[in-house]
């Protein structure tokens, strides 16, 4: 599975990015790597992405999620951890914020899906 950021949500009213998250030196969860393009990018138009901040969620990821701004397109967008989507209350699949599959104990595969959409 690739751990690169990717545009998601062609079906969504709000465009967003999915990227793996990892804890930094201070224990804060942050997206891994640079986000090279925004969800509105149409190659070869370059994006100019800057950090806007982080916001808490009442449901979904239990960590602050990053909000970025593309100065080229003059739009804001959110970077969701892999497995989460806008307005989602639970993970879509049993993955950690970095996008790695959660460990499944032999004979308990169904338990790993608990707390997900499926």
pLDDT of residue 110: 58
Domain count, the chain: 1
Q: What is the mean pLDDT of residues 41-55?
A: 86
Lowest mean pLDDT: which of 52-56, 63-67, 106-110?
A: 106-110
For residue 112, the enclosing domain spans 1-118
CA atoms within 13 Å, Cβ hemisphere of 87: 5
Q: What is the pTM of this model?
A: 0.71
Contacts of 34-37 with CB under 8 Å at 24 or more apart are 35/5, 35/68, 35/79, 36/5, 37/7
Q: How does pLDDT run across 71-110, given as a tens digit for each residue?
A: 998 999 999 988 888 887 777 777 777 777 777 666 655 5
Q: What number is the average pLDDT over the span 25-46?
A: 86
């Amino acid at each position: 599975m690739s751990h690169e950021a990717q545009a998601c949500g062609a079906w969504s009213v709000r465009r967003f990015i999915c990227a793996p998250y990892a804890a930094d030196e201070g224990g804060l969860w942050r997206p891994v790597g640079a986000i090279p393009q925004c969800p509105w990018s149409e190659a070869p138009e370059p994006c100019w992405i800057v950090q806007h901040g982080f916001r808490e969620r009442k449901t979904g990821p239990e960590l602050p999620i990053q909000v970025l701004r593309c100065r080229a397109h003059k739009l804001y967008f959110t970077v969701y951890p892999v497995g989460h989507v806008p307005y989602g209350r639970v993970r879509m699949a049993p993955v950690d914020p970095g996008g790695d599959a959660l460990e499944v104990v032999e004979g308990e595969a169904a338990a790993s899906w608990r707390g997900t959409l499926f």
